[in-house]
Structure 1
Amino acid sequence: MNEANFAHPVLDAQALGEVPLAVRLLAEDYVLWRDASGMPCAARDRCPHRGTKLSLGRVCEGQIECPYHGWRFDGAGRCTQIPALPSFTPSDSHALSPLRVLQAHGLLWLQLDGGVNLPRFDGEADAKLRKLNVGPYDVATSAPRIVENFLDLAHFGFVHEGWLGDRGHTSLDDYRVQSTATGFVASGCRAWQPQSNRLSTEGSWVDYRYEVMAPYTAVLTKLPQLQDGYRDEIALFVCPVEPEKSRVWFRMAVTDHDSSDEELSAFQHTIFTQDQPVLESQVPRRLPVSGGEVHCAADRSSAAYRRFLLECGISFGIC
C-alpha cells in the first residue's frame, strides 16, 4: 500500500461546471470535466495524440475536446472523434485512461489505484449539525506536516493565544492513543480555550477527540463543557500536490445554526492563517519519520501519526 491507493480531494464539487479544470495531485497533472449527465470525469491532463493539455480544451456534449486537433474523448476515455479523419473509427490505443472520481463532503476526490474507500466523517450523517466547507488554502509545506499540526494541542497557547489557548494553561493532561482498523484515535485530550468556537463568550475547558483514518486526513470532535449541547466536528482534508506543497480544506459540522456562513468561515480562517506561517517555516518541509527531531511525552499523537504513515507505505511528503 502507498499514497496512490487512497482517495484524495482535488477540487470543490461546485467549482466544476461547463469547462474542464486542471488539478495537480502527487506531482502529476489531471483534468476534470462533467459528462452529458453532469457526472464528474477525470483523466491525466495529456492528450495521447501529441501530449497537449486537455484542460486547455473545451467540453462538447459531455466529451472533452483537445485544443490542438479537436480529438474528443467521452467519460469512459474512448476517443469518439478525430476531425481530420471523419470516417475513421479510433481504436482502444487512442483512448484515455479514465480515473475514478468520487464526490463527498462537498469535494471531488480522485482515486488513482486500488479500492480504498473515502475517509469517514461521522458529522456528515448527523442531520442536527450544520455543514460548511472552508478553503481551499494553498500551503507551502508537505501534507504530513499539516496533519501533524492539526493533531497537536501543545501549540494552542502560543500560536492561537487568546483564541484556542493562553500561556497560563499550557500544561497537557495525559491522553490516550489507540490503534484502529484504519488508523488511530487520540482521546482524553483537554485544553483551556478563551474562545473555542465563534459563539463562545467566556473561556472553558474543551474535550478533544482526534481520529486519523487516512494518511492526509484527520477529524476532531470538540465538546465545550460550558455550552450544553454544543458540538463541533471538523475534518481536515489535505491534497498532496507536491512533496512540499499542499491544498487544504476544512469540512465543518457544527451545532451553530445562528452564525452566517461568512462568520463561521472567518473564525476557521483566523485559526488556520495563524498556523500557516508556522507550518511554512518548518525545516525540513517534509515530515521527518526516521529521526532528526526530538520529542516529548506530549507528542504521542505525533509519534502515532508518523508510525501510521510508515505502516501505510507512504513516501510522499516525508523524509
Structure 2
Amino acid sequence: MLVTRQPTLRHFWYPVIPLGELETGPKPFELLKEKIVLWLDGAGKPVAVRDRCCHRSARLSQGKVIDGNIRCPYHGWSFDGAGVCVKVPQLTHGLIPRTYRVDSYRCEERYGYVWVCLDEPLLPIPEIPEASDPQFRQIHEFYEVWHCAGLRLMENSFDNAHPHFVHSSTFGVEQEPVPPEPDFFEETEFGLRMKYILPVFNNTVQKQNLQMEETRTVRISEGTWYMPFIRTLKITYPNGLIHLIFTAATPIDDRSSQLVQFCLRNDTEAEATAESVIAFDRVVTLEDKAILEGTDYDVPLRISKEQHMASDKPGIIMRHKLAGLLKERGEGERGKDEG
C-alpha cells in the first residue's frame, strides 16, 4: 500500500509538529506528500494552509507572520488561517478578488502537538485519559523522520515475537522466544486493543527508571491501535508504575514517516528523571528503527503477499481493516504492483 495513492488516508488526523516550534515563525511540513505551512494566528492558535502562494507559487513557509497572517516572501501577499488573501500591497483600491486564496486544512492542538487533517475527518483525535490526569506527567521524547512505512511501525508495536531478538540488549529474553498469548484481544471499528503479560530483563538504566532492584520482572502491556498509524502502549509494572507510550507514524510520503513519541508516567522527576526515561526509550526505539528502515515501504494489505505466524494476528487484522475501509470507500489497494 502506497499511502500517497490512497485518498482515504487524507481523512485522518495526524500530529505533525510540536506546538512550541511555531513560536519562532512559520514552519513547513509534508503530509502525505502535500506541502503545507503552519503558523500561529492572532489568537495564538495553530493554522495550516497549502505551502504555495496562489500568485506565483512561492513557498509561504519562507515568509513572515504579520498580525496573525502569513505574508508571502515574493510579493508580500498576506493570507489568513482560512487561506483567504487579506492584503495585496500592490492593490491601491483595497478590493481583493475572491479567487486570491490558497487551500486551508483542519488544524488543532492536542498533547503539545499540532494535528492536521487534509480532508473531512473520519474520526476525532484519539482521547488519552492519562493526558488529563494530574497523577501523570508528560515527557516529550522523539520527533524525527523514519524511512519506513507507518504500517510497519504499527505492526511492530503489537508484535510480541520481536522483543526477545530486536531488544535482547535492553529488555528482551532471547532464551524464551515463544511469545505469550494475549490475555485480552478486541477489535474496534477503527482499531484494536490487546493486553498481554511479557517477561522482561531490567538493565541498569531500567532498574533506576522502574525503582526496583530485580533483574527480571514482568510487565502488563495494554496496546491500542488507532487507524491508521497511531498507537498507545500502557505498561504496568508489579510495583504500580505506569509507563504509557504514545507513538504516531505520521506519513510524509510513501517511504518516510514522521515519528512523534511522548510518554505519560505516574511518578515524579525525583523518582526517575525525564532524561533517564528518554535515554532508555531512545535505545529501544533505535533498535526498532535499525530493523524497520530495512523493510519494504510498500506493505501489502493482501495477506497472501507475505508469510505469517500466530503472533502476527494484530498485523493481519490491521491489514484486513485497512483493506476493508478502502473497499468501503470505493478504493482498492494501490501499491507498486497496482495500477
In structure 1, distance between residues paired with 2:335 and 2:15: 16
Which of 97, 107, 123 aligns to 2:130? It is 123
The alignment partner of 2:47 has SS state of: strand
In structure 2, distance between residues paired with 1:23 and 1:298: 36
CA deviations 1:271-301 (Å, max 9, x no partner) are 101110100111x222222132111111111
**1:277 to 1:316, Cα distance in 2 relative to 1, 3 A:** farther
Query: Does the aligned pair in 2 maintain the 1:165–1:191 contact within 8 Å?
Result: no
Which of 78, 82, 85 aligns to 2:88? It is 82
In structure 2, distance between residues paired with 1:286 and 1:126: 39
Which of 188, 211, 214 aligns to 1:180? It is 188
In structure 2, distance between residues paired with 1:19 and 1:87: 30
Question: AA paired with 1:111?
Answer: C
- Alignment partner of 1:263 is 2:276: yes
Query: Does the aligned pair in 1 maintain the 2:300–2:335 contact within 8 Å?
Result: no
The alignment partner of 1:281 has SS state of: coil
- Alignment partner of 1:293 is 2:299: no
**1:120 to 1:311, Cα distance in 2 relative to 1, 3 A:** farther
Which residue is 2:223 aligned to? 210
In structure 1, distance between residues paired with 2:336 and 2:220: 30
How far is the alpha carbon of 1:99 from its aligned partner? 1.4
The alignment partner of 1:93 has SS state of: coil
Which residue is 1:236 aligned to? 247
- Alignment partner of 1:250 is 2:257: no
Gaps of 5+ in 2: 1-6
Which of 158, 161, 165 aligns to 2:165? It is 158
Question: AA paired with 2:27?
Answer: L
How far is the alpha carbon of 1:179 from its aligned partner? 1.2
Mapping of 1:53-132 within 5 angstroms? 53-115=59-121, 116-132=123-139
In structure 2, distance between residues paired with 1:192 and 1:249: 27
In structure 2, distance between residues paired with 1:222 and 1:46: 43
In structure 2, distance between residues paired with 1:234 and 1:11: 18
Which of 53, 60, 64 aligns to 1:47? It is 53
In structure 2, distance between residues paired with 1:317 and 1:132: 37
Query: Does the aligned pair in 2 maintain the 1:177–1:304 contact within 8 Å?
Result: no
| Greater shift in the superposed pair: 24-33 or 75-84 | 75-84
**1:44 to 1:316, Cα distance in 2 relative to 1, 3 A:** farther
In structure 2, distance between residues paired with 1:181 and 1:251: 25
TM superposition score normalised by structure 1? 0.93
Identity %: 27
| Greater shift in the superposed pair: 28-37 or 196-205 | 196-205
Query: Does the aligned pair in 1 maintain the 2:64–2:73 contact within 8 Å?
Result: yes
**1:195 to 1:255, Cα distance in 2 relative to 1, 3 A:** farther
Which residue is 1:309 aligned to? 322
**1:318 to 1:4, Cα distance in 2 relative to 1, 3 A:** farther
Question: AA paired with 1:139?
Answer: W
Which of 137, 162, 166 aligns to 2:144? It is 137
Query: Does the aligned pair in 1 maintain the 2:190–2:321 contact within 8 Å?
Result: no
Question: AA paired with 1:106?
Answer: G
The alignment partner of 1:272 has SS state of: helix
In structure 2, distance between residues paired with 1:288 and 1:201: 44
Query: Which runs of 4 or more aligned residues in structure 1 lie more than 3 Å from their structure 2 counterparts after TM superposition?
Result: 314-319
CA RMSD of aligned residues (A): 1.9
CA deviations 1:66-90 (Å, max 9, x no partner) are 1111001122222111111232311
Question: AA paired with 2:197?
Answer: R
Question: AA paired with 2:266?
Answer: T
How far is the alpha carbon of 1:318 from its aligned partner? 9.0
Query: Does the aligned pair in 2 maintain the 1:289–1:318 contact within 8 Å?
Result: no
TM superposition score normalised by structure 2? 0.88
The alignment partner of 1:16 has SS state of: helix
| Greater shift in the superposed pair: 170-179 or 273-282 | 170-179
